[in-house]
């Protein structure tokens, strides 16, 4: 059976609906950890093999077996979302990306681009902060007030309590910000906390940006660490987030920290910058929408240049420096509403935007495989044909 179109899942799909979509789309399921509240942390993966290997295998006489890919010939790309539990727009963008990458035409294109000794491994970690996402859905009786819990559900603040009558804003100042819990430049100097093991945790600073008591203190970040180490080296990654109150999309590359770091090499820096620019649609003719010109979808740059603030202990910087991910990005989608948890009245524009945002992930895979812009070529030929037809008439 074919998986349902991701549009049918809505813009805040329940956890089980997301997992079932990946299962129905033919992904392999792997449990990579357990959350604070003992929910499974689930990674999905799919392998695409080259067409030539399939052809040679059918003609093989048993003495010319195709080469077997290894970690050095496998192209691996990691996609994550919901590191922050109140950003379902990031999840929607990841789902649309997964749908686009599993379409028959895309898979055929990737198979043709792979060398005989290569394969493409797509990794999807759709719901990193599963506890917070589930909690946000539970407390979303009012759509306009939903989505307050950003951090995980580690109980770090003694003054915080969660019960059926708790107002949404009171849920925010507790837990660990998973995107501050990675080792590179990890810093809790701005947080006052009690001694480790102290039963009285009144000293823990209650804030939605708490970095944890040490790097990788949280099961969710350790799950990411395990995935990255298991599938290393990883050619590229996107972690999908969403902005609070801006329509402008961002593609953020290393570094997010305010601490100065050198890139691994000049070639590495150039690759990251070129990939970022290639993933950003330029101004041009919008055939489907009429004779319009649209601006760049993204601002591309490091955190200081793109989002105008810096952060330490982020997944982005750790993935690049220690995680052996060659080309990592953070994808910050714009939001049509005034907060990250959009109401149903924004559903259609969220879905329309997601189809545009999915192009970044597809382009990233094409860049890793060195595909020569096939979709642009198709559109150019199609438009050229229209010009010829018009001139004839």
**pLDDT band for position 164 (50/70/90)?**
very low
Q: With respect to CATH, is domain 6-154+176-184+217-392 assigned 3.40.630.10?
A: yes
Whether the Cβ atoms of residue 139 and residue 153 lie closer than 8 Å to each other: no
Distance CA 98, CA 94 (A): 6
How does pLDDT run across 269-305, given as a tens digit for each residue? 999 999 999 999 865 444 434 434 456 799 999 999 9
Domain ranges of the chain: 6-154+176-184+217-392
Whether the Cβ atoms of residue 327 and residue 334 lie closer than 8 Å to each other: no
Nearest to 227 by CA among 20, 365, 31: 31
Residues 6+ apart with CB under 8 A from 36: 131, 152, 153, 154, 218, 219, 220
186 vs 205, which has greater pLDDT?
Answer: 186
Whether the Cβ atoms of residue 150 and residue 86 lie closer than 8 Å to each other: yes
| Token pair recorded at residue 358 | 């999915």
Whether the Cβ atoms of residue 294 and residue 283 lie closer than 8 Å to each other: yes
How does pLDDT run across 192-215, given as a tens digit for each residue? 333 333 443 444 457 778 899 999
How does pLDDT run across 27-45, given as a tens digit for each residue? 999 999 999 999 999 999 9
How does pLDDT run across 219-229, given as a tens digit for each residue? 999 999 999 99
| Token pair recorded at residue 174 | 């507790």
Residue 222's φ and ψ, nearest 5 degrees, are -65, -30
Percent with pLDDT over 70 in the chain:
76
Whether the Cβ atoms of residue 240 and residue 79 lie closer than 8 Å to each other: yes
Beta partners for residue 237, in sequence order: 78, 328
Asked if the model's pLDDT at residue 190 lies above 60, the reply is no
SS3 content of the chain, % helix, strand, coil (to 5): 40, 15, 45
């Amino acid at each position: 059976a074919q998986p349902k179109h991701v549009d049918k899942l809505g813009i805040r799909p329940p956890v089980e609906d997301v997992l079932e979509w990946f299962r129905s789309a033919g992904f392999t399921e792997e449990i990579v950890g357990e959350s604070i509240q003992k929910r499974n942390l689930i990674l999905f993966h799919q392998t695409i093999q080259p067409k030539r290997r399939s052809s040679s295998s059918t003609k093989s006489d048993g003495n010319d077996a195709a080469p077997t890919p290894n970690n050095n010939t496998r192209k691996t790309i990691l996609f994550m979302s919901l590191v922050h539990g109140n950003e379902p727009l990031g999840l929607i963008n990841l789902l649309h990306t997964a749908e686009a990458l599993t379409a028959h035409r895309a898979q055929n294109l990737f198979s043709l681009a792979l060398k005989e000794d290569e394969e493409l491994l797509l990794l999807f970690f759709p719901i990193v902060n599963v506890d917070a996402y589930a909690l946000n859905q539970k407390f979303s009786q009012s759509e306009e007030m939903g989505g307050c819990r950003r951090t995980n559900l580690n109980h770090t603040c003694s003054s915080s309590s969660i019960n059926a009558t708790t107002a949404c804003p009171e849920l925010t100042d507790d837990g660990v910000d998973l995107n501050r819990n990675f080792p590179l430049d990890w810093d809790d100097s701005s947080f006052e906390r009690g001694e480790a093991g102290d039963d009285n945790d009144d000293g823990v600073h209650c804030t939605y940006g708490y970095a944890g008591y040490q790097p990788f203190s949280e099961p969710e970040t350790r799950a990411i660490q395990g995935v990255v180490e298991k599938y290393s080296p990883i050619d590229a990654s996107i972690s999908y987030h969403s902005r609070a109150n801006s329509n402008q999309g961002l593609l953020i590359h290393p570094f997010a920290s305010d601490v100065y770091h050198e890139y691994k090499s000049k070639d590495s820096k150039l690759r990251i910058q070129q990939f970022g620019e290639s993933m950003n649609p330029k101004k041009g003719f919008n055939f489907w929408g009429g004779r319009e010109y649209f601006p760049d979808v993204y601002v591309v740059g490091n955190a200081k240049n793109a989002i105008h603030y810096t952060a330490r202990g982020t997944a982005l910087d750790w993935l690049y420096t220690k995680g052996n991910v060659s080309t990592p990005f953070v994808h910050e989608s714009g939001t049509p509403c005034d907060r990250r948890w959009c109401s149903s009245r924004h559903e259609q524009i969220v879905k329309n935007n997601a189809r545009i945002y999915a192009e970044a992930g597809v382009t990233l895979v094409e860049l890793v495989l060195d595909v020569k812009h096939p979709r642009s070529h198709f559109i150019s030929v199609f438009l050229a044909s229209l010009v010829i037809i018009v001139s004839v008439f």
